[in-house]
Every structure is written in C-alpha cells, then in structure tokens.
Structure 1
Amino acid sequence: MKSMHTLPLISKYAAEQPRFTLLDPVANRIALIAFCSVFSFLFMYIFLPFNINMWYEGQHLALMPLFLIFTLGGVVVMCITQFALAKIPLRRKLTNATYGCWFLGEIVLVSLVVTIVNVNIIDSFFFTWSEFTNTLYYTSFILPLPYCIALLWFFTREKMAQLKSLKQEQQAPVAKTDDSCILLRDEHDKPVLTLHPNKLLLMKAEDNYVQVFYLSGNTICKELIRTSMKKMEACLPAGTFVRAHRSYLVNLTKVVLFKKNAKGHYLQLEGLNDISVPVSATFLPTFQERFAPTA
C-alpha cells in the first residue's frame, strides 16, 4: 500500500521537468535535417569509416551515388519523425531528459531504412538480424555527432538571443509604472513568470498546462505553466485580456486581424503569424463589438 503513494510524486516530478522546445521552430528542424544529412554524407565519403569502401568493391554502383541513397533514406526518416510525428501528444510532452529516447528511435528507424535500401540494391547483402544490428552499430557512431552539434547550436543561439533581449531591457529607459506587472503562478501557487501586461500576447490551454506567449525585447518567447486557464484569467486585468475560445485567452490590444472564413471567425495577433486563434460563438459578441461594430 505504501508504494502506491509514491506514484503521484513521480508523476508530479516528471510533469515539472522542462519541456524540450529546441526543435519547436520549423526552421530549426529543417536546419537539423540538412546539417545531419550533409555531415553524414561528407563523413562517409571523405573518411570512409569502418573500411566501408571495401564492402562495395565490384558493385555496379559507385560510392558517391550509394552514399547519396543512404543519406536520402535518412532524410526521409527524419522528415517523418520531425514533421509528420511532431504533433502527436507523446512528442509534444517530451522533456529535455526524455527526448533522448525519441532520438534513439530515430537512429533505429534510420538504420532500418538504410538496411532495407542496402539489401535491395546490393545483391550480396540479405536482410537479416545481423545485417540490421551492424547497420544500427554504424549509424549510432555517425548520426549522434552532427545531431548534437545542431542542438548545441540551437541552444547557444537561443540563450544568446535571451541575453541580448535582457541587455536591451536593462539599457532601455525606465517605463511608466502606472500599470503593475502580472505575476503568474503554477497550480501549487509557486511564482513562475512576472511580466508587464503589454508584453503578454496569448495564453493557450494544453491539457493540464497553459502555454504563455509573451515578448522579451523583440523576441517572442513561450512558457509552459502547469495550471488552469481559469486560474490564469483571474490574475489578468479585466477588459484587456478576454477569452476568444475556451482554450485561448488573448490580449485585445495585440489583435491585428479579426476575420471570418468557412470554418468560422478567427484572430491574428501581433508577432504570432503562424497561430490563428479561433473565436467561438460564446465569446464572439465581444470581438464583434470591438472590431466589427454595426453601423
């Protein structure tokens, strides 16, 4: 019976770990795939690791097109894992600690595809467990290096941008203090984020979390807070921050577009060009009154 009481503690600890966000931007995922593919191809072609050139002596394909085919197979796999599978709930909840498991899965899939390609273009190779494990072994030596270099670059660039924004804020003249800052807390009432109301753009409910979009200097940042939208709404000034949908809460002063399409009404916020905020029928009158007043 005592062991059962430890389960919520473990779940709580895992939920409080920082979510892996380095590959959230599409540009980062494209750069990752491009860098890994170019690096892996050049590494195989220039250094010929594991005496790979001796494996294909006497074959009808030269090494360059052969390596290009292997590289293309890896690109296809990474496009699937980084784009097609990027929106599944499991991927969206991965933390910095657990993303390594996702990467291991990518290595296994790349090895599987390369093995299948290998046995189909080379007559002397056959699809066996030994052939797959050998390919997995070689892939595990080649792919992690460019992958980690790319992630390190993204991490460094992100921290440099945050540092630059911080320096700009420190050097900026002191703003008026008419409006007090907003203190956002998590479900345990622990302070998480303090910011000026003008910097807050959007809040989006995601299961037991709220994703907060805000401005830090000229950079749009995100903070995932474990709490409810109802609790967040209570912290915000009335009139400026309103619900557009049960899962979205917006800063009215940051709305740059209010439009209707075949699916209904939606909003576009300043700086968030890739996010269309739906407006549900319950909250529609507020936006119609402000942005589409009747004559």
Structure 2
Amino acid sequence: MKSLHTLPLISKYAAEQPRFTLLDPVANRISLIAFCSVFSFLFMYIFLPFNINMWYEGQDLSLMPLFLIFTLCGVVVMCITQFGLAKLKWRRKLTNATYGCWFLGEIILVSLMVTIVNVTITDTFFFTWTEFINTLHYTALILPLPYCICLLWFFTREKIAQLKSLKTEQEQVAKTDDSCILLRDEHDKPVLTLHPGKLLLMKAEDNYVQVFYLSGNTICKELIRTSMKKLEMGLPAGTFVRAHRSYLVNLTKVVLFKKNAKGHYLQLEGLNDISIPVSATCLPTFQERFAPAA
C-alpha cells in the first residue's frame, strides 16, 4: 500500500515530459513514409543484405518485384499507423521517450505483414513463430536507419525555424530600440532615451531645455543643459516642429489649436495647464494641418 503514494509523483513526472510533435504535420508523415520506403527498397536491391538473393532460388519471382511487394507492405502498415491509429487520443499524448514504444509496434506490424505476404507468395516459407522472429530481426535492422534519419531531419528543420523566428524577434526588438530618441546634453553626454511617441514638448529656458514626456501615464520633466537647436537635429522630421522660438511640440499630441485675443496657441495631450504660443513664423504649419477643409 505504501507504493501508492508514489503514483502522483509518477503522473506528475510523465506530465512534465515534452510531447512528441515531430510527426504532427501531415507533410512530415508523408515524407517519413516515402523516404523509408525508397530507402528500404534501394537498400535491399543494391546491397542484398542477409544473402536475401539466395532465399528465393528456384522461385518464379524475381528480386525486384519481390522487394517492391515487401516495400509496399511497409507503406501500408505505416499509412495505418501514421494516419489511422494516429487519431487515437493516447497516441497524441505520447512523449519523446514513449514514442519509441510506438515505433517498436510499427516494426512488429511491418514484420507480421511481410511474413504473411512472404508465406503466401512462396512455397518454401511457412507461417511459423521462427519465421516471424527472423523477419522481425531483419526488419529491425533495416527500418530504424531511414526512420531515424527522417526524425533527425524534422528535428533539425524545426530548430532552424525556431532560430530564424528568434532572430526575427531580435531584429524587431533592435529596430524598436533604434527608433528611440537619445537626448544628449551640451557635452554630448546621454541624458534621456525614450520612444518618439512618449515625447510631448520641449521648452527652451536660457541655457537649458525642459523636456516633457510620458512615463506610463505620468507626465515627467527633464531639464537638460543644451540648446533647442541641437536637440531638434536628433528628432524625426515632420513629427516634431517648432510652434515658437522657445517651444517644440509633438504634432501627434496636439489636442487643441485655437486663436484668442493674443494670437494662436496649442494644448497638448496631458499638458492641459500649459498653453503653447504659436508664432507668426510657425503658424502656416499648424494652419495647414489643423485648419478645417474649405
């Protein structure tokens, strides 16, 4: 009864094993069957393993059609196991470790069919346990090599695809990083790095520039000792424009463009307490963008 306490641990260990997925794609299963059949036929026909050419001396059958028949037996069995039996629920739960038992079952089924066909078409072989074991022995020496080559190819191709996907993700991250703005002070020392969409406003104050930006949902400020002209040179053209000699705004963040008795002014998203004046020199840019169509 004490051994029952180990069952949850065994179940948990089995659940943690990776599921065997190399043959989930239909194309992989078709490739497996095709490669194993071609490889096995050519191997038998070219190398004549186990002196197989001497087994059928005196028979009316030539070796080529005989090998084709044996190959067809393997194709039929693997079509059944890879497409018919593969739909079973427990088959879909096989892990990398337990799939070896499935493959062993395929070898046994192929051997059984080859034995039945062999004793049917010849007069010198009979369906006995010894005959089946011999066929099983020969099948186990031929089939695993092409089978494993295919699985290795599928595994390698899958890993290459994963590496390419990872490389693409890294390149996308790199592009995202490259699109960020790096703001430097008058000595070219990095002070602030942020995405263009987070930068709201720059305001010149004597020898400094006050930078307003978003950090999450919070409006933050950074005072940088540099000139507005120097910072403007590092910003994307068309998105950041001067509204005034002392103000540079993010056009995508403008929520209000209005005229009052003192002239035109702007308000930016999140900066409702700051009215940004628009000088006559910079006015055409904003009129073109925000004035209603006639």
TM-score (norm 1): 0.59
Deviation at 1:152, TM superposition (A): 0.1
Structure 2 residue aligned with 1:105: 105
Structure 1 residue aligned with 2:96: 96
What residue identity is the alignment partner of 2:38?
Answer: V
- Secondary structure in 1 matching 2:176: coil
- Secondary structure in 1 matching 2:44: helix
Q: CA RMSD in A?
A: 1.3
Structure 2 residue aligned with 1:127: 127
What residue identity is the alignment partner of 1:137?
Answer: H
What residue identity is the alignment partner of 2:34?
Answer: A
Deviation at 1:154, TM superposition (A): 0.1
Distance 1:144 1:76 in 2: 17
Deviation at 1:58, TM superposition (A): 1.5
Structure 2 residue aligned with 1:50: 50
Structure 2 residue aligned with 1:19: 19
- Secondary structure in 2 matching 1:137: helix
Deviation at 1:147, TM superposition (A): 0.2
Give the alignment partner of residue 176 of structure 2, picking from 152, 174, 193: 174
Structure 2 residue aligned with 1:280: none
Q: Residue deviations 1:63-95, cap 9 Å, x none?
A: 000000000010000000000011101100000
What residue identity is the alignment partner of 1:78?
Answer: M
Deviation at 1:124, TM superposition (A): 1.0
What residue identity is the alignment partner of 1:87?
Answer: K
- Aligned residue runs from structure 1 range 210-289, under 5 A: none
- Secondary structure in 2 matching 1:19: coil
Deviation at 1:2, TM superposition (A): 2.5
Deviation at 1:6, TM superposition (A): 0.5
Q: Which runs of 4+ in 1 moved over 4 A?
A: none
Number of aligned pairs? 177
- Secondary structure in 2 matching 1:97: coil
Distance 2:74 2:90 in 1: 22
Structure 2 residue aligned with 1:63: 63
Residue 147 of structure 2 corresponds to residue 147 of structure 1: yes
Distance 1:3 1:43 in 2: 49
Any gaps of 5 or more consecutive residues in structure 2?
Answer: 180-194, 196-294
What residue identity is the alignment partner of 1:74?
Answer: G
What residue identity is the alignment partner of 1:72?
Answer: L
Structure 2 residue aligned with 1:288: none
What residue identity is the alignment partner of 1:141?
Answer: L
- Aligned residue runs from structure 1 range 177-188, under 5 A: none
Deviation at 1:137, TM superposition (A): 0.3
What residue identity is the alignment partner of 1:95?
Answer: T
Residue 75 of structure 2 corresponds to residue 84 of structure 1: no
Deviation at 1:4, TM superposition (A): 1.3
Deviation at 1:3, TM superposition (A): 1.5
Structure 2 residue aligned with 1:245: none
Deviation at 1:174, TM superposition (A): 2.1
What residue identity is the alignment partner of 1:71?
Answer: T
Deviation at 1:41, TM superposition (A): 0.2
What residue identity is the alignment partner of 2:163?
Answer: L
Structure 2 residue aligned with 1:234: none
Q: Residue deviations 1:158-209, cap 9 Å, x none?
A: 00000011111111222899xxxxxxxxxxxxxxxxxxxxxxxxxxxxxxxx
Distance 2:169 2:11 in 1: 37
Distance 2:3 2:84 in 1: 39
Deviation at 1:43, TM superposition (A): 0.2
Deviation at 1:57, TM superposition (A): 1.1
